């Protein structure tokens, strides 16, 4: 296999059990560099668990995860995670640090400093005023906080961005705006992005590849266009039906 064809990220028979419960049941999957993948499914379908096996917040019970051809289990979790951007619903900004200190945390862990200019550029990337750098997280709105969360995830020059329900706690307008911004950043920075969401509409609008999970298994693997064309099977179509019917209902109202 030529280097260019080597998958950026590969899941090889990844299984994770919590006691008697199987959260992820032998998932095998390749993800190409530069793709924007949405992992969609109901609560408890195993999508978050699968995502977290990549940065080893959760260790698989069996199987391996290969990042750029290397087993992630072979590197120290802390080193591995600094190379991978991570954004999640809880945001988890450090309340005792300023916005600038929060953003600079990954370089700091590596023993590096990033300057005011770099912080300002990162804030600009997520469409925030540079003046916010000196504020503390409790002075920000929910949307601003998650923007800072995204900037923090990108500060370590990550090429892989993992997002676990990143917009789940935001109001619809902020959610839409931030979703678009992340989609653009994905392109501008040449990222590979995996986003866990239970919202099929969000997945259809942002991702270029959608994986539907159910009971720990991938039950559909398709592009948005294919899903909208009715492919991907029953479970996927049930999820697609929701936004489609809503759109239809809205369209009917305007007539």
Partner 1 sequence: MSDLILALSRLGGPLASHVLLSASAIALGTLIALPLAIWASRAPHIARLTLGFASLIQTIPALALLALFFPLLLALRGLFGQGLPTLGFLPALLALTLYALLPILRNAVTARANMDPGILEAADGMGMTAAQKLRLVEAPLAAPYIMAGIRTAAVWTIGAATLATTIGQPSLGDPIFAGLQTQNWVLVLAGCIASAALALIADTLLGLVERGFAIRKPLLVWIGLSLALAGIAVAGWSSRDTGERDTIVVGAKNFSEQFILARLIGQRLEQAGYNVEYREGLGSAVIHTALTSGAIDVYVDYAGTLWANQMERKETPARSRMIAEIAKWEKDSTGTRMLGALGFENAYIFAMRRERAQELGIRSLTDLASLSSRLNVGGDVEFFERPEWHAVRDAYGLNFAQIRNYTATFMYNALQSGQSDVIAAFSSDGRIAADHLTVLKDPKGALPAYDALLLITPQRVQEKRFVNALRPLVGAIPVSRMREANYAVDRKDNKLSPREAARQLAKDIETGNSTGS
Residue choice 94, 112, 116, 129 for contact with partner 1 (CB under 8 A): 94
List residues bridging with 18 in a β-sheet: 21
- DSSP-assigned letters across all residues of 184-237: HHHHHTT-EEEEEES-HHHHHHH-SEEEEEETTEEEEEE-HHHHHTT-SHHHHH
Binding status of residue 47 toward partner 1 by CB under 8 A: no
Asked if 13 and 71 touch (Cβ cutoff 8 Å), the reply is no
Least distance (Å) from partner 1 to the CB of residue 178? 18
**57: contact with partner 1 by CB under 8 A:** yes
Residues 6+ apart with CB under 8 A from 35: 192, 193, 208, 209
- Closest approach, Cβ 163 to partner 1, in A, equals 11
- Binding part of the chain for partner 1, among 71-79, 112-120, 229-237, 245-253 by CB under 8 A, reads 71-79
The answer to whether 81 touches 27, Cβ cutoff 8 Å, is: no
Asked if 11 interacts with partner 1 (CB under 8 A), we say: no
- Interface residue with partner 1, options 105, 120, 215, 219 (CB under 8 A): 105
The neighbour count for residue 179, using CB atoms within 10 Å, is: 19
Least gap, CB of 48 to partner 1 (angstroms): 11
For partner 1, the closer of residues 36 and 88 by Cβ is 88
Based on the shown chain and the rule CB under 8 A, indicate whether residue 92 belongs to the binding site for partner 1.
yes
- What does the per-residue mask of binding to partner 1 show for 128-147, with x meaning CB under 8 A? --------x-----------
Answer yes or no whether residue 82 interacts with partner 1 by CB under 8 A.
Answer: yes
* Distance of closest approach, residue 231 Cβ to partner 1, in angstroms: 34
Q: Taking CB under 8 A as the rule, does residue 167 contact partner 1?
A: no
Closest-CA residue to 151 (of 112, 114, 200, 111): 114
Does position 118 interact with partner 1 (CB under 8 A)? The reply is no
Taken as a whole, the chain contains a residue count of 255
Residue 150 CA neighbour count, 13 Å, CB half: 30
* Contact between residue 217 and residue 54 where contact means Cβ atoms under 8 Å apart: no
Interacting residue with partner 1 among 90, 131, 187, 241 (CB under 8 A): 90
Contacting residues toward partner 1, per CB under 8 A: 55, 57, 77-83, 86, 88, 90-96, 105-106, 109, 136, 152, 156
């Amino acid at each position: 296999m030529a280097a260019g064809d080597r998958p950026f990220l590969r899941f090889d028979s990844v299984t994770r059990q919590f006691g008697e419960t199987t959260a992820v049941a032998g998932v095998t999957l390749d993800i190409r560099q530069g793709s924007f993948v949405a992992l969609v499914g109901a609560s408890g379908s195993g999508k978050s668990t699968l995502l977290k096996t990549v940065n080893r917040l959760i260790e698989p019970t069996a199987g391996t995860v290969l990042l750029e051809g290397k087993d992630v289990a072979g590197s120290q979790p802390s080193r591995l995670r600094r190379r991978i951007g991570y954004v999640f619903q809880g945001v988890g900004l450090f309340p005792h640090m300023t916005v600038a200190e929060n953003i600079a945390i990954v370089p700091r862990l590596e023993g590096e400093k990033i300057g005011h200019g770099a912080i300002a550029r990162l804030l600009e990337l997520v469409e925030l005023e540079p003046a916010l750098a000196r504020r503390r997280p409790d002075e920000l709105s929910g949307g601003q906080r998650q923007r800072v969360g995204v900037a923090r995830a990108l500060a370590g020059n990550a090429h892989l961005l993992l997002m676990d329900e990143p917009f789940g706690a935001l109001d619809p307008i902020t959610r839409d705006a931030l979703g678009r911004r992340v989609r653009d950043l994905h392109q501008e920075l040449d990222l590979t992005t995996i986003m866990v969401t239970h919202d099929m509409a969000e997945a259809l609008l942002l991702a270029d590849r959608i994986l539907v999970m159910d009971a720990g298994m991938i039950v559909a693997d398709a592009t948005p266009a294919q899903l909208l064309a009715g492919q991907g099977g029953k479970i996927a179509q049930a999820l697609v039906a929701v936004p489609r019917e809503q759109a239809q209902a809205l369209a009917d109202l305007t007539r």
